[in-house]
């Protein structure tokens, strides 16, 4: 039976550590770290995630400032808001919830954030720092994935990691982090030929393709570790929806360890956002 890596418990433990760092900052300076959360539009999933981020901030003592903007909010006005947040010394982190509405150029918006306040780690400066291994802020989901993997792996040298998915948010940055640990990394995607054969050689699979139950039991070699990043909402006959991952977890008994969906990578994403916000605030004060 595969070990289930409990992302909820690990996220709680990380948030408890973050809360202790926040308390130390407040004792030192009287000011808590502060995160600006910007949501443009009314995407239902984004609203859930933003609500969760704000309530988790409150739980650990981070001050959050919410900017909820209408779906037709002009791009120029969004850029002006980012300029204001960049120059506000009381704001340590800026988060623009993705996806943005189609009339907004997401790359332009993310590039406008001060890299020191870019708690999502999406700014090109932070992307460059990650790829050169020179510090910076690391995207939250990949950071969370590495913490989950570190709970079951001591030494990555000699291990083959296969990343399925090449997004800027997950696939590319997690590949960089695995390389930094000295794993041998293959980045694949939904168009990759012979994907099951490639996956079957992996000691570590990170599935971030956004394709429900893509990774089947026969794709996974016995003893592999499988991180499921997919969050796919499947409509049910009764009108409700069920969340499933990118892996057919019920076929993975022969794996060494797997992350569940829900309750695996997702909660770690939010805990790592809080962690990055405190890190940005600590760096701003030194
Ligand atoms: N600016 C950002 N936008 C987006 C990011 C991001 O890291 N930064 N990632 C995703 C959405 N996301 C956070 O924003 C996120 C997704 C899922 C979860 C989560 O806890 N999921 C639950 C299950 C889903 C549910 O209950 O609805 C789980 O896996 O247990 C947290 C955060 C895209 N946008």
Cβ of 242 closer than 6 Å to ligand 1, yes or no, is no
The predicted-structure confidence for 115-128, as pLDDT tens digits, reads as follows 999 999 999 999 99
Backbone angles phi, psi at 197, to 5 degrees: -65, -40
Q: Which of 37, 49, 51 to mutate to test the pocket of ligand 1 (most atoms within 8 A of CB)?
A: 49
Cβ of 120 closer than 6 Å to ligand 1, yes or no, is yes
- Give me ligand 1 centre to Cα 141, in Å: 8
Residue positions forming the annotated binding site: 165-167, 190, 231
The predicted-structure confidence for 88-97, as pLDDT tens digits, reads as follows 999 999 999 9
Question: Which domains does the chain show, CATH number per domain?
Answer: 29-114 (3.40.50.10860), 140-265 (3.40.50.720)
The predicted-structure confidence for 191-215, as pLDDT tens digits, reads as follows 999 999 999 999 999 999 999 999 9
pTM: 0.97
Cβ of 262 closer than 6 Å to ligand 1, yes or no, is yes
- Give me ligand 1 centre to Cα 140, in Å: 10
Report whether pLDDT(286) > 90: no
d(CA 88, CA 83): 9
């Amino acid at each position: 039976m595969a070990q289930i890596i409990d992302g909820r418990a690990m996220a709680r433990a990380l948030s408890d550590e973050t809360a202790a760092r926040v308390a130390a900052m407040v004792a030192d300076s009287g000011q808590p770290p502060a995160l600006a959360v910007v949501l443009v539009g009314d995407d239902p999933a984004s609203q859930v995630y933003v609500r969760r981020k704000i309530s988790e901030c409150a739980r650990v003592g981070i001050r959050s400032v919410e900017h909820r903007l209408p779906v037709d909010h002009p791009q120029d006005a969004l850029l002006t808001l980012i300029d204001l947040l960049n120059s506000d010394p009381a704001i340590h982190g800026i988060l623009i919830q993705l996806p943005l509405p189609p009339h907004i150029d997401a790359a332009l918006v993310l590039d406008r954030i001060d890299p020191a306040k870019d708690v999502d780690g999406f700014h090109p400066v932070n992307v460059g720092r990650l790829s050169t291994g020179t510090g910076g802020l690391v995207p939250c989901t990949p950071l969370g994935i590495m913490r989950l993997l570190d709970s079951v792996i001591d030494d990555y040298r000699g291990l083959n990691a296969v990343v399925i998915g090449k997004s800027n948010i997950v696939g590319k940055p997690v590949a960089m982090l695995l390389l930094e640990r000295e794993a041998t990394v293959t980045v694949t995607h939904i168009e990759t030929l012979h994907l099951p054969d490639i996956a079957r050689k992996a000691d570590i699979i990170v599935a971030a393709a956004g394709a429900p139950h893509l990774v089947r039991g026969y794709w996974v070699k016995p003893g592999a570790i499988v991180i499921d990043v997919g969050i796919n909402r499947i409509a049910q006959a009764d009108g409700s929806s069920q969340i499933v991952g990118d892996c057919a977890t019920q076929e993975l008994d022969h794996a060494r360890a797997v992350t569940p969906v829900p309750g695996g990578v997702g909660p770690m994403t939010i805990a790592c956002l809080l962690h990055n916000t405190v890190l940005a605030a600590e760096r701003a004060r030194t």
